């Protein structure tokens, strides 16, 4: 009868031989430099474009219209610019990506007979995974976080009163050109 330490040593000695065969490399779709698409969150929709200046590094621009405000004349808009990096993977259809950049926000308010706009320029970051179904189409699920602002009505005007991190889960559809 073999002892437990001997079995453990035998098993550990066999481990290096398991990794000797390299996994077959999956063919990847051609890297496309430019894409356009749409995005949607729980409270907004928008358009986006992506330009890759290398196979891994690129820039993403998006414009978003927010909805669901309490008063009919209120709305929010955002312009987003991110420097992106596509992570390496062996999977043909999976494209993980991370990004960091700037966010310009505009909140149009209408209250107590007055109206106006509060604007803000701040930082944002995102990460997610795109699934590539063909050479010219991909869809993705991304998480975007921004250092947003809180606004309150004070002395007849809307003013920024604080900061908060806002997280947006986002679905995307892109057409690769």
Q: Is the pTM of this model over 0.75?
A: yes
Q: How far apart are CA 39 and CA 28, in angstroms?
A: 24
Is the model's pLDDT at 45 over the cut of 60?
Answer: yes
Instruction: Indicate whether 92 belongs to any domain.
Output: yes
> Residue 27 — very low, low, confident or very high, per pLDDT cuts 50/70/90?
low
Q: First and final CA of the chain: distance in angstroms?
A: 66
pLDDT band, very low/low/confident/very high, at 4 (cuts 50, 70, 90): very low
Residue 152 is part of which domain span?
A: 30-176
Kindly report the CATH number assigned to the domain that includes residue 156.
Answer: 2.40.160.20
Examine residue 20 and state whether it is found in any structural domain, yes or no.
Answer: no
Domain total in the chain: 1
Mean pLDDT of the chain: 85
* Span 83-139, pLDDT tens digits: 999 998 888 889 999 999 999 999 998 887 888 999 999 999 999 999 988 889 999
Whether 17 is covered by a domain: the verdict is no
HSE (side-chain half, CA atoms, 13 Å) at 43: 12
CB 115 within 8 A of CB 108: yes
- Evaluate whether residue 22 is within a structural domain: no
In a domain, residue 9? The reply is: no
| DSSP for residue 27 | P
Dump pLDDT digits (tens) for 153-170. 888 888 889 999 999 999
149-153's contacts with Cβ under 8 Å and 24+ in sequence apart are 149/105, 149/118, 149/120, 149/122, 151/107, 151/109, 151/118, 153/109, 153/111, 153/112
Q: Are strands 114-134 and 34-41 parallel, antiparallel or unpaired?
A: unpaired
Distance (Å, whole) CA 119 – CA 29:
41
User: Is residue 11 domain-resident?
Assistant: no
In a domain, 141, yes or no: yes
Output the pLDDT for position 133: 85
- Indicate whether 70 belongs to any domain: yes
């Amino acid at each position: 009868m073999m002892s437990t330490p001997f079995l453990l040593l035998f098993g550990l000695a066999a481990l290096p031989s398991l990794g000797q065969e390299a996994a077959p490399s999956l063919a990847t779709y051609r890297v496309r430099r430019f894409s356009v698409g749409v995005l949607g969150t729980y409270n907004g929709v928008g358009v986006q474009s992506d330009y890759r200046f290398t196979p891994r590094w690129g820039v993403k621009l998006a414009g978003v219209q927010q909805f669901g405000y309490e008063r009919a004349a209120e709305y929010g808009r955002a312009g987003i610019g991110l420097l992106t990096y596509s992570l390496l993977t062996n999977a043909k259809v999976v494209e993980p990506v991370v990004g960091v950049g700037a966010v310009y926000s505009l909140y149009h308010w209408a209250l107590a007979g007055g109206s106006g706009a509060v604007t803000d320029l701040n930082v944002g970051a995102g990460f997610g995974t795109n699934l590539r179904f063909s050479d010219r189409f991909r869809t993705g699920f991304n998480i975007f976080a921004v250092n947003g602002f809180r606004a309150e009505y004070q002395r007849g005007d809307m003013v920024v009163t604080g900061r908060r991190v806002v997280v947006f889960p986002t679905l995307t559809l892109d057409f690769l050109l």
